[in-house]
Structure 1
Amino acid sequence: MNTIAVNSSYLLMCLNMLLCYALLGEQLEGLSMEKKLTGTQLGAFTVGKLIGDGGMGSVYLATHPERSDPLAIKVLLPQYAEDSEFRARFIREGQVLSELSHPNIIPVYFFGEDRGLLYFVMRYVSGKSLYELLLSRRFTPIAAWQILKPVAEALDYAHERSIIHRDIKPANILIEVQRVDGKLHNQVFLADFGLSKVLTWTALTTTGVSVGTPQYMSPEQVMDYPLTPASDVYSLAVVVYEMLLGRLPFYAKKPDQLAFRHIDTPPPAPSALHPEFPKPLEAVLLRALLKEPERRYQRAGDFAQAYAEAARQVGRERCAMQYYVGEPRHIR
């Protein structure tokens, strides 16, 4: 088995820190609820209803006197603004990220600071996340393709501009039903480009821990090795694996144990979980999930193209079938 060579003591230190960081995030999750901003002003924006809350901050609806389109404003927890270097980097990176313009990337219109709070303003998407959809529905290979293709296109666009997302996961993939030429159409958006790079930097400089979600992190991200587009490809492959099978490649009770799985444990072959799972699609998934980034698809578009070619080889009838197995029994 080929794995990334590691220094065991360094790895243990990193993984212990990862666990501490995850626990800290859980403790902070409710803090932003204590101070509601609804009805106040942040810069030129009026903060509206709270629509989301988490460990990094809160998301509200927002309005601007010169705009009629729906807006959302994400306000980071106050401690982020207390670090002057982080604050400067937040604004600097925000200026770059706000220039991203792609139909499958939620546009970020403005980054700013007001009264000790860092925030950014983006397009409001009135739809569900892939995370929510996975709780209530099962995906065929055809349905998974309808998510994979636009996300891969968004990633290629960002990667061509030297931007790595670093946190591809179902919660950061949003689907909005739109009407186009009189017909309903599912528009897929990739979210949170605005936080990935700058939060990674501040975590590494203050705790030595990579930002990301352990279930979806590439081996090199766990190890704090340099990231490449292939790192996002790995995370996207975990998402596709989950869509097709209704379960993740790896499970563990603790974040550090889960991180070890990404580094040294091969993912279960889909056909070992569901005997009828198409072998061509399995080969594509397992290549995208290889431990060594140089052996994976180097572009998200290459992954999507290989998936499409495998699907054509399998045929429409089998691609319209479900291969759901669900989470392992001990996890349920």
Structure 2
Amino acid sequence: MYKWRDHKLGKYTLVSRIGSGGMASVFKAIEDDTEQEVAVKVLPPWLDEEENFQPRFEREAAILMRLHHPHIVPILNFGMEEGIYYIVMPLMEIGTLRERIRKGPLKPEEGAHIIRQIAEALQYAHDAGMVHRDVKPANILMDIEGNAWLSDFGTAHVGDATVSLTGSNVIGTPQYMAPEQARGEAVSDKTDVYALGIVLYQM
């Protein structure tokens, strides 16, 4: 089991766990140089055993760092320390769309505002040749002003390559998958549009 408390990954000291999923855990951390609080996604140690994972991780993280959009959570840095791979992002302790939906139905204008912003983020990614492949409320962060941020491009598809920073078998979340994605067929922009439609329905 990964002993994270007060552990250092590069120039980042982990402070507390703020989230976890099947393939990664997210921690609040402090950057040593600036004392800035950031979020660090820590990938499971067994990924280091996958063939050619390190060069693939570095190549694909570099691709994701080139995404710059007002409604996409940026990657600030990435690295590997003692066999542990990590990704650094801004700290956004403001919740997700999933948490907002659990509080009750959104007003039409609120839902339209969120969908518009995420659609714009997806359009930007699609124009760059990238398909997100895991659009869902848990991957949409909400800021204090009600704006939406698309996160977790760790299972994205870029051109002929597949970005899978959480392992080669992770391809999305079943209940949000378009039929072609569930069948293991080629994905396209429409795959994300399908998932966004499910998000809209749930709102």
Q: Give TM-score, length-normalised by structure 1.
A: 0.57
Residue 98 to residue 39, structure 1, CA distance change in 2 (3 Å): same
Number of residues paired by the alignment?
197
8 Å CA contact retained: 1:72, 1:121: yes
- Structure label with greater radius of gyration: 1
Question: 2:39 is matched with which residue?
Answer: 72
Structure 1, gaps ≥5 residues long:
1-33, 178-184, 204-209, 244-332
TM superposition shift of 1:38:
2.1
Q: Hey, what's the Cα distance between the residues in 2 that align with 1:188 and 1:156?
A: 15
**RMSD across aligned positions (CA):** 1.6
SS of residue in 1 equivalent to 2:93: coil
Larger deviation, residues 101-110 vs 189-198: 189-198
TM superposition shift of 1:100:
1.0
Question: 2:186 is matched with which residue?
Answer: 226
Written as runs of structure 1 = structure 2, the 5 A alignment for 1:288-307 is none
Instruction: Say yes or no: does 1:59 pair with 2:45.
Output: no
Over 6 Å off, 4+ runs: none
Q: What one-letter code is carried by the residue in structure 1 that aligns with 2:168?
A: T
8 Å CA contact retained: 1:165, 1:193: yes
SS of residue in 1 equivalent to 2:131: coil
SS of residue in 2 equivalent to 1:134: helix
SS of residue in 2 equivalent to 1:149: helix
SS of residue in 2 equivalent to 1:79: helix
Question: 2:99 is matched with which residue?
Answer: 132
Match of 1:236 among 184, 196, 202: 196
TM superposition shift of 1:78:
0.8
8 Å CA contact retained: 1:86, 1:202: no
TM superposition shift of 1:199:
4.8
8 Å CA contact retained: 2:11, 2:33: no
Instruction: Say yes or no: does 1:213 pair with 2:173.
Output: yes
Q: Give TM-score, length-normalised by structure 2.
A: 0.91
Written as runs of structure 1 = structure 2, the 5 A alignment for 1:142-291 is 142-177=109-144, 185-196=145-156, 197-199=163-165, 202-203=168-169, 211-243=171-203
TM superposition shift of 1:35:
2.6
Percent identity over paired residues: 39
Q: Hey, what's the Cα distance between the residues in 2 that align with 1:69 and 1:114?
A: 20
Question: 1:7 is matched with which residue?
Answer: none
| Bigger fraction of residues in helix | 1
Q: Hey, what's the Cα distance between the residues in 2 that align with 1:67 and 1:220?
A: 45
Q: Hey, what's the Cα distance between the residues in 1 that align with 2:103 and 2:113?
A: 17
| Bigger fraction of residues in strand | 2
State the Cα deviation string for residues 102-158 of structure 1 (Å, max 9, x = none). 111111011211111111000111211111111112123222101101101111111
Q: What one-letter code is carried by the residue in structure 2 that aligns with 1:190?
A: L
TM superposition shift of 1:54:
1.6
8 Å CA contact retained: 2:23, 2:166: no
Structure 2, gaps ≥5 residues long:
157-162
Q: What one-letter code is carried by the residue in structure 1 that aligns with 2:202?
A: E
SS of residue in 2 equivalent to 1:151: helix
Q: What one-letter code is carried by the residue in structure 2 that aligns with 1:239?
A: V
Q: Hey, what's the Cα distance between the residues in 1 that align with 2:12 and 2:154?
A: 18
State the Cα deviation string for residues 308-332 of structure 1 (Å, max 9, x = none). xxxxxxxxxxxxxxxxxxxxxxxxx
Q: Hey, what's the Cα distance between the residues in 2 that align with 1:191 and 1:149?
A: 15
